Structure 1
Amino acid sequence: MAQISQHFIEHIEKQLPQHISLEELLAACQRPLRKSVRANLLKTTTSELRDQFEKAGYSLLPIPWCDEGFWVDESTQPLPDNIGNWLPHLQGQCYIQEASSMLPVKALLHDLEVNDHSKFLDMAAAPGSKTTQLASLTHNQGLIVANELSSTRLKGLYYNIQRCGLENTALRHADGRQFGQQTPEFFDAILLDAPCGGEGTVRKDEQALANWDINNVRSMSELQKELIVSAFKALKPGGRLVYSTCTLSREENQDVCKHLLMTYPEQVTVKPLNTLFTNADQAITEEGYLQVYPSIFDCEGFFVASFEKLGKSVEKEPAEPASKFTHLTKPSAKQLEMIVPYFNIFGWDLAPLQDELWVKKGKANTQEIWLIGKEIPALNQRLKLNRFGVKLLELNKHGPKIQHQAITTLGHHFTQQIVELTAQQASEYYQGKDIFLPAPEEPPKHKEVIVTYQQNPLGLAKHLGNKLKNNLPRELVRDKAFSELSDHAR
């Protein structure tokens, strides 16, 4: 049972709107949190993912604010504890995400025009739920900068970006308060899902409110004010800023928004969220923000506010030419003569993307070929980016070799050298095992093949006639990978 500080109870009681009962709120905080998942539209469709859950015997309830999200009814059988090892999750078809945390991206994209030149910033991105949701709903259009201050969380963020097939995302490891100065009026839309006290997470973290302290709330609020000002400075005039938290206190929510409005009274306007989804008015504040209490929609507590920066955007040229990287070069004519035909083997014509190819020096005298979006070189002149682009292949003395990231991210372009696996074989592939074929086959002319399951690329293997030699990177091996949800329910 959740431990809730009496100090918090007295604090929040003074702030609750009239239509929210303290007793109902506290009762909701003691109930287990409903599990929810989101379909990644870069890898599957909502109906296809729904079918997989229903086939396993689960009933699904739609999430009102997210067409591709749903709650999983566990009344007849619980979900597996290790659902992260389920094939559709490993393939990036679904993301395990709390329902209310799907709200900020919905607000960010509401009535927003998106194109290939759109620039997004997710200022506090790890573990990647909102970054991947944003890319999913925009179909990899434009450029997303996913920033994370915590170095320990960067690895998980990068893993989810690769798993979910994001082509257009650059990672940055920095304090979000730097963006206002380093990229003034650069981004078309910014999501600041701010670090917060986490009061709304008590249904999954029983200790979230056990040691609640108003001084911690006030300290966090000061950081949030600095972050929201930085985000606003980095936003283009005419752009959209969404501020969100998973906490309940006004100090970290309405008061932070008030600080922004008072700092820029002539430049910012609130975009009310009362029509964001059906029944949104149940959670709307007098300012037009969303304050979702756990007792309203039976989910985590969450706060969402949306703003527009007034004025007309004027595109600024970077201070230096945007055509150079310090550690990358353009491929030579000789390299291109090797690279383009190599990808033709897999049925992908790389020629139209030659201008986006770059060469990086790899280990042991290898050369790495990277596909880097057109918007990234200009951004690289303003910010130090930690990871960006898609690693396509390595060139060594034996010739080119396709890389795992190219397969998981761009594999939908490949039409040749494909071997479709069964559910059992796909599970064994993720367990790092070689796949033995029922009968020896004549290997294809090119032994490197793309293995797929349900037409979704898993990775690379070498066809040796009687088996497929597993080339899955060791760090991605999952010893307990499984294909059927019903067989692994707790």
Structure 2
Amino acid sequence: MLPQSFTERMQGLLGSEYEEFLASFEHEKYQALRLNPLKRDDMSVITEKVKQTFQLQPVPWAENGYYYTKEDQPGKHPWHETGLYYIQEPSAMAPVTLLSPQPGERILDLCAAPGGKSTQIASAMEGEGLLVTNEIHPSRAKILSENVERMGIRNACVLNETPEHLADIFEEYFDRILVDAPCSGEGMFRKNEVACEEWSPENVQLCADRQDGILECAARMLVPGGRLVYSTCTFAPAENEGSISRFLAKHEEFEIVPIDKKELGIPEGCDGIPGCVENPAPGITGTLRLWPHKLRGEGHYAAVLQKKGELPEGYQPVSATGPEKGIPAKNLTKDWAEYFNFAKETFLEEQTIKAGLCTAGEGFLAFGDNLYRMPERMPGVKGLKVLRPGLHLGTLKKNRFEPAHALALALRPEDVKHVWKLSVEEAAAYLKGQTFSAEGEKGWYLICVDDCSLGWGKLAGGVMKNHYPKGLRK
């Protein structure tokens, strides 16, 4: 049952299309996944195998995005645990396409949990540059961090901060910012009954007020010439065209970049609606509304904003915390010698030197007994609530080094000396924590299925001990 005040507003907004919109709530929701190119340089073979396993059709507005059918169960396949794909609502893939992330940039995902858009940004960045991905709620930030790990992302710093605190630290710092704002969730009514039950006109206004504050913080953190994408999963004009119009009324240094819907494969009639709010911003029709009765996805809104101006040649933004210095090389080789012994025994040097995993230079950071490889140009973390400052390499335990699950998921078979390949059936048993008989040189093995890393095993005495994390076992 849809709230009456919601249906009355939508009827006024849609006019003759209202009945078609209302009928869309009776349709089954569309489901999609997005393949992760960080797992392979050449995705063609594994992509074809995934297509043969599931009934996939392309999502027009998302590279590597595919619809799957209700008969498919990609979440239960071992491929899911390798990070080969991320299950994501199809309309939710559009904002990152509009953000157009590039390798080597500094990018912020300000309201990032559970991590679908952050992992999509990371795929486009190809492991180069700095991705700061933030979530204000601690429990949701933990889920975000887990998804960053599962997708094998090396260049992300996961934070649990307020937008206001970040704005004080990262003044004109980021090349691109995504604000996937907390909203009233009207676009999820078909998918999530709880969203419908919790809805109220008062909550819509509360969300709109909160969005204004988040956008103010984002504006401070964007460099001149930078791109900001604002998105919601609601139909409410106050949170969509209204949020953008109120923001632009106070910020003449920003302007709307019109979205080319045709190029994205989005049907006509998905423009922003100027008459739905008072004092609409110039160019508001160039924003995007994804309607469930017009395309195969839930309700979403997105706007692309550009900050006027350009950066001086050679400009290097600096955070208020300065650059993170990490562990000095002389201390690193002394205090973390067990890691470098592990690296020498495990990695194929030529491949992993490129990623800085074998070299004792700058770029390593320790939190207690945990060692991380930082992203390039990592800002200082002092005073920040950090969940994941880059790639977790592992933990020092009683003078021995135990590699992290995150490291396994970030590696490929060609990166290591010892690989153990499992069939899909064997992989399912591995995910339950089972050990298995194996013969070979003793030591750490990268456990793989279809050339995608799944976790670690340690071979000794003809038995491969299972090091898949107990908390993740099926």
Between 1:256-265 and 1:147-156, the stretch displaced more is 147-156
Identity rate, percent:
28
- Say which of 8, 17, 31 aligns to 2:6: 8
Q: How far apart are 1:52 and its partner, in Å?
A: 3.8
1:68 equivalent to 2:64? Answer yes
Q: Any conservation in 2 of the 1:356–1:371 contact (CA below 8 Å)?
A: no
Flag the 1:450–1:207 CA change in 2: closer, same or farther, 3 A: closer
Partner SS for 1:459 = strand
Aligned to 1:205: 192
The AA in structure 2 aligned to 1:289 is T
- Say which of 242, 262, 265 aligns to 1:278: 265
The AA in structure 1 aligned to 2:35 is A
- Say which of 55, 58, 62 aligns to 1:59: 55
Aligned to 1:452: 448
Aligned to 2:169: 182
Partner Cα separation in structure 2 for residue 49 and residue 410 of structure 1: 16
The AA in structure 1 aligned to 2:72 is L
Partner SS for 2:177 = strand
Q: Any conservation in 1 of the 2:186–2:196 contact (CA below 8 Å)?
A: yes
Partner SS for 1:369 = strand
The AA in structure 1 aligned to 2:256 is V
Q: Any conservation in 2 of the 1:271–1:307 contact (CA below 8 Å)?
A: yes
1:225 equivalent to 2:212? Answer yes
Q: How far apart are 1:96 and its partner, in Å?
A: 0.9
The AA in structure 1 aligned to 2:75 is G
Partner Cα separation in structure 2 for residue 152 and residue 203 of structure 1: 25
Q: Kindly tell me the number of residue pairs found equivalent between the two proteins.
A: 451
Flag the 1:4–1:65 CA change in 2: closer, same or farther, 3 A: same
- Say which of 263, 268, 277 aligns to 2:254: 268
Partner SS for 2:234 = coil
Aligned to 1:315: 316
Aligned to 1:346: 346
Partner SS for 1:22 = helix
Q: How does 1:36-55 map to 2 (within 5 A)?
A: 36-44=32-40, 47-48=44-45, 50-55=47-52
Q: How far apart are 1:177 and its partner, in Å?
A: 3.5
Q: How far apart are 1:452 and its partner, in Å?
A: 1.3
Tell me the TM-score normalized by structure 1: 0.85
Q: How does 1:58-207 map to 2 (within 5 A)?
A: 58-74=54-70, 78-80=71-73, 83-109=74-100, 114-116=102-104, 118-207=105-194
Q: Any conservation in 2 of the 1:290–1:305 contact (CA below 8 Å)?
A: yes
Partner Cα separation in structure 2 for residue 242 and residue 194 of structure 1: 10
Q: How far apart are 1:281 and its partner, in Å?
A: 4.0
Partner Cα separation in structure 1 for residue 404 and residue 194 of structure 2: 43
Partner Cα separation in structure 2 for residue 59 and residue 315 of structure 1: 47
Flag the 1:68–1:316 CA change in 2: closer, same or farther, 3 A: closer
Tell me the TM-score normalized by structure 2: 0.88
Aligned to 2:277: none
Partner Cα separation in structure 1 for residue 353 and residue 21 of structure 2: 58
Partner SS for 1:67 = coil
Partner SS for 1:449 = strand
1:423 equivalent to 2:410? Answer no
Partner SS for 1:387 = strand
Q: How far apart are 1:460 and its partner, in Å?
A: 1.4
The AA in structure 1 aligned to 2:27 is R
Partner Cα separation in structure 2 for residue 310 and residue 150 of structure 1: 32
Q: Any conservation in 1 of the 2:187–2:298 contact (CA below 8 Å)?
A: yes
Q: How far apart are 1:274 and its partner, in Å?
A: 2.1
Q: How far apart are 1:388 and its partner, in Å?
A: 1.0
Partner Cα separation in structure 2 for residue 61 and residue 318 of structure 1: 43
Residues 307-354 of structure 1: CA deviation (Å, up to 9, x unaligned): 0101123534445653546xx665344457654453232233255633
- The alignment's C-alpha RMSD in Å is 2.5
The AA in structure 1 aligned to 2:344 is N
Flag the 1:211–1:336 CA change in 2: closer, same or farther, 3 A: closer
Partner Cα separation in structure 2 for residue 234 and residue 382 of structure 1: 17
Partner Cα separation in structure 2 for residue 207 and residue 318 of structure 1: 40
Partner Cα separation in structure 2 for residue 254 and residue 47 of structure 1: 40
Q: How far apart are 1:155 and its partner, in Å?
A: 2.0
Q: How far apart are 1:32 and its partner, in Å?
A: 1.3
- Say which of 278, 299, 302 aligns to 1:301: 299
Residues 249-303 of structure 1: CA deviation (Å, up to 9, x unaligned): 11000010001111112x1111111245134543122530001111010310000
Q: Any conservation in 2 of the 1:463–1:469 contact (CA below 8 Å)?
A: yes
Between 1:299-308 and 1:351-360, the stretch displaced more is 351-360
Residues 55-99 of structure 1: CA deviation (Å, up to 9, x unaligned): 34x43221110131111134xxx234xx43310111101111000
Q: How far apart are 1:436 and its partner, in Å?
A: 2.5
Partner Cα separation in structure 1 for residue 43 and residue 317 of structure 2: 39
Partner SS for 2:66 = strand
Q: How far apart are 1:455 and its partner, in Å?
A: 1.3
Flag the 1:436–1:289 CA change in 2: closer, same or farther, 3 A: same
Partner Cα separation in structure 2 for residue 202 and residue 320 of structure 1: 42
Flag the 1:320–1:469 CA change in 2: closer, same or farther, 3 A: closer
- Say which of 445, 460, 463 aligns to 1:464: 460
Flag the 1:138–1:358 CA change in 2: closer, same or farther, 3 A: closer
Q: How far apart are 1:424 and its partner, in Å?
A: 2.1
Partner Cα separation in structure 2 for residue 380 and residue 271 of structure 1: 33
Q: Any conservation in 1 of the 2:156–2:391 contact (CA below 8 Å)?
A: no
Residues 379-427 of structure 1: CA deviation (Å, up to 9, x unaligned): 4367443321222233455543333221111345523111112222211
